[in-house]
Structure 1
Amino acid sequence: MTAEEAQLIQSLTARMTTRCIGRHLIDLPEQFVLNPVQEAVIDEVHVEIRPLAKDRFELETHALLRKYRSQSLVGKSAGLPFVSREISLAGGVIVDRAEHDATSIRAGRTLEALWWDRGYAHRATIKAIDGTYPELQSDPYWREQGTEVPEKLATLRAVIARVRGRRDDEIPSEPGDGFAHGFWQGAQAPAAEFSINYHLQGTPDVYIHLRSVSGDARVARPDTGLMQRRAQIERQIQRSGAELLWLRPRVIHGKAYEESAGREPAHVTSARVPGHSAVLQTDQAVEGRSAPFFKMLMFNGHYIPSPPRSLEEQAKIPDLKRATLSEAQMLALWEAITATLRPRPGAL
């Protein structure tokens, strides 16, 4: 690195803040801030938590319920209510509603829980099938499907009972999984995935994606490791025009991981400038599939995650002339951050 490049890395790594993801801890520079794109899925239940004043939560919830109550279905089910029932919940309500307002058959359900607790607004949803509505009984398919609603409602209630709000800098001492603004208390769920993004404040193209998998969420937990797929990875990288900088095993604080880093041409990165990406993940061949699975990715020259944008908002995305970090800065920052990864004491 040049003296100027080294000064930036020294500035970033001088003040690090501990973050909790799943059952792991990692230290990130203070300038990496929580990105709005996050995900927590616990036993098929999608959970969103955000800090919000109680009066604001009540206003938002009342407005949403008015909207739901005013809607009706379309097509074959035209005129039928969007909401089948509302169930009281401590601090809020559970709504049994159609999947979306354009559906024409109300068998596809979404159970949506909305509640407020100790400074945080919570939303949890799970999908279900209910073929027991009267207008569906002439169809043998729906008669055979029956209803999943009681089972899925029980799952929803079980998840609700074990989640709570959490400040981003709060490090719990009891067993459980940390996620954006929240905490899942107790033993690992049968299948859960938690994803958090942090981006470098003031830059459009540097961010870190952290993912933790508890239990056996097969979509998120790979069946094979990086080293086992080395030949396949090298072929894919070669075809894309990227260059593999390294692909290797690594031990951090006594735990086995695998990592790779690559140099990417402009046609590979989302910002269309030469950039880089790196990945670190649990070596399941050593740690075993029963251990929480951790994965970290870092990107330089890729636009940071964002909620869906309108065409007008997309037009305002700046065209970059180069990635924010040089290759030496990217790799130095990667080494500094990944070296802090460790299991959270008391997490298991």
Structure 2
Amino acid sequence: MTEQEKATVHALTTELETRCMGRYLIDLPKDIRTFGDSFIEGVTFEAIPASKAEFLQNISAREANLNSLVNLAGGYRVLYEHGVVPAIADSYYFVSLESPKGQSSDMPRIVEAYRWDRGYQIKLQSEATDMVNSVYVRENKGTPYGIHGELINDVPEKKRLVFGLLGRVEGRDEATIPTVPGVCFLGGFLHGSAGEKEDLSGQYYLRDKQDVNFVLETTSFIHEKTTLLQRGDSINDALKERNGHTVRKGVVDLPGMQAEEWLMAGTTYLYIPGHHFVLEANSKTGSALTPLVELDLDNGDILPDDWQGDPPRKASLTEKEVVALWDAVSRTLRPRPNGF
């Protein structure tokens, strides 16, 4: 490496901070922007920083918004239920029409529940169906193109699921690393033993180099038929399409798991030379206790949704820099102690 490359790598890797995603830990550069998606037992988890006053204002605004919406397709109600979640402090829930303005049937519903805890507004949401109390079903049952068979109403079941999860969730800043079993997601933590329906991801963009980002995903219900290295033919075909080449590939021993990596260079989706590095563990054994884990690093590629201005004309890091960053970060990936 040149002296400039050494300085860049030193600045990126000397102050790594531990982050928790799912039931795993990883050490990442200090100055990053974080995004995330979390689905547990079919429920979407979201959390944003908010004071208690802001939380109450947001709940009032949400209720007013749902009450103001008019279903133009069938004249159906939009808000069906709302109120405090029983036995959970600083909580509220709504049951509403799934697509309020244009929904052509009143069967699809959304159950959403909110909780304020430790400076975070936490939202859980699940889809539901109510055919029993549906005006559409009542008006169309028995017609040639209407509803036939058993009528389903899983709203009560979905409410129990969402409320149960809401009672186990708490707010969490990124610097807080839990010491008890549970799942980390952006802005929160769900207490509990490992389950078979956990799908979480975190995206981490370097603030001053936003074409450089890590993605860490853990999924407890995917079982691949092949490992990363066994998918070499399809990977090599993709590299040919992008005028790319393999920088490095092989087996990687990590704490508590054996992984495989494939480091690639080629033309990115921004149409510039860049890199895509992949590490994969538990490919064939995905389960609650050994979830499929994938870590990606892109250089000169995917930009955050709120990117402003023209795309970069070249990748922020050289090949030597991005490999050094990858080696510093990827080797810190490990299961969180007592996480499962």
CA-atom RMSD in angstroms: 2.0
How far is 1:264 from its partner? 1.2
- Matching residue of 1:127: 127
How far is 1:69 from its partner? 0.8
- Matching residue of 1:88: 84
Distance in structure 1 (CA, Å) of the matches to 2:294 and 2:115: 31
Aligned to 1:54, which of 52, 55, 60? Answer: 52
Q: Which moved more, 1:144-153 or 1:45-54?
A: 144-153
- Matching residue of 2:30: 30
- Matching residue of 1:8: 8
Note if contact 1:50-1:181 (Cα within 8 Å) is conserved in structure 2.
yes
- Matching residue of 1:305: 304
SS of the aligned residue for 1:277 comes to: strand
Distance in structure 2 (CA, Å) of the matches to 1:25 and 1:135: 48
- Matching residue of 2:227: 225
Q: 1:105 to 1:288 in 2, by over 3 A?
A: closer
**Runs of 4+ in structure 1 displaced over 4 angstroms?**
285-290
Q: Which moved more, 1:134-143 or 1:82-91?
A: 134-143
Distance in structure 2 (CA, Å) of the matches to 1:96 and 1:223: 40
Note if contact 1:136-1:143 (Cα within 8 Å) is conserved in structure 2.
no
2:171 maps to a residue whose letter is G
Unaligned runs of 5+ in 1: 308-313
How far is 1:287 from its partner? 8.1
Q: 1:289 to 1:247 in 2, by over 3 A?
A: farther
Aligned ranges 1:1-348 → 2 under 5 Å: 1-31=1-31, 33-35=32-34, 37-75=35-73, 77-78=74-75, 80-89=76-85, 90=88, 91-101=90-100, 102-132=102-132, 133-137=134-138, 138-140=140-142, 141=147, 144-214=150-220, 216=221, 218=222, 222-265=224-267, 269-285=268-284, 290-306=289-305, 316-348=308-340
Note if contact 2:282-2:290 (Cα within 8 Å) is conserved in structure 1.
no
Distance in structure 1 (CA, Å) of the matches to 2:287 and 2:97: 40
Note if contact 1:20-1:178 (Cα within 8 Å) is conserved in structure 2.
yes
Distance in structure 2 (CA, Å) of the matches to 1:290 and 1:319: 41
1:155 maps to a residue whose letter is L
- Percent sequence identity is 27
Q: 1:94 to 1:286 in 2, by over 3 A?
A: closer
2:239 maps to a residue whose letter is I
Aligned residues: 330
Unaligned runs of 5+ in 2: none
How far is 1:162 from its partner? 2.0
Distance in structure 2 (CA, Å) of the matches to 1:190 and 1:153: 20
How far is 1:336 from its partner? 0.8
Distance in structure 2 (CA, Å) of the matches to 1:172 and 1:319: 38
Q: 1:106 to 1:243 in 2, by over 3 A?
A: same
TM-score by length of 1: 0.89
Distance in structure 2 (CA, Å) of the matches to 1:295 and 1:276: 16
Q: 1:127 to 1:223 in 2, by over 3 A?
A: farther
